[in-house]
Amino acid sequence: MAIKYYLILITILTFLAFGWDKRLAKNGKRRLAESVLLILTFVGGTFGALFGITFFKHKSAKKTFILKLILVVAVQLALIFLLKEHLTDQ
């Protein structure tokens, strides 16, 4: 049950981080590092990142960022698959 609340929280936090970074970009201020956005995505904020990219139209045109995001999601899927296989073997 705690994992559900964690995922909800990290999803919201990641979404807000994308929005905050977009706002900083529009105002010409110092922005969040891409690594921060990618780490938030990796630790469970994948849906927040996808919603943030779509809703704020932020980072969607930056191909290198999108490639890194795809890599993060691929690693997440691989880890989920490995954990599922490991836990079901026991």
52-76: average pLDDT: 95
Burial of 87 (0-12, 13-18, 19+ CB in 10 A): exposed
- The per-residue pLDDT for range 20-56, each reduced to its tens digit, is 999 999 999 999 999 999 999 999 999 999 999 999 9
Q: Which position has the token pair 């969040």?
A: 32
Q: How far apart are CA 15 and CA 51, in angstroms?
A: 7
pTM of the model: 0.88
